[in-house]
Amino acid sequence: MKELGARVHLTGAAAAARVEKLEDTGVIEGYSIKVNQTKLGCFTYAFLNIYIKSTHHQPFLSFIQEKREHILNNYKISGDGCYLLECRFPSNESLNQFLLDLNNYANYKLSIVIDKTL
């Protein structure tokens, strides 16, 4: 809090009090960390547009819950597809196995990330 206070021209105690007030009123909902997935051994980064084969989505949702170690985010979307999955895999082989298993629940369009610009 001392560093934060210095940046906004407050004492560390004053900055801590303001942050606590923002937390108490719900303006600050939580804190997070950003993990470098590549350094953890997850080298294949991909997005999957999911097209559910039926109107019953629960089997697919159960499947991705079981595979959550690979799924960074799951978005229910409008437009092209039903869901958009943001995924990380340690290898192309593990991605391929995921896609083979996914075929039981949905069709998909795969986009592999080449580079991240921001």
Residue 117 has a pLDDT of 80
Strand order in the sheet with 44-52: 71-76, 83-89, 44-52, 106-112
Higher pLDDT, 87 or 117: 87
Q: How far apart are the first and last CA of the chain?
A: 28
Q: Which CATH code is given to the segment(s) 44-112?
A: 3.30.70.920
Domain borders along the chain are 1-31, 44-112
User: Is 22 or 35 the better-scoring residue by pLDDT?
Assistant: 22
| Predicted TM-score of the model (pTM) | 0.67
Q: What span, in angstroms and rounded, lies between the C-alpha atoms of 72 and 48?
A: 12
Residue ranges of E strands in 1-118:
44-52, 71-76, 83-89, 106-112
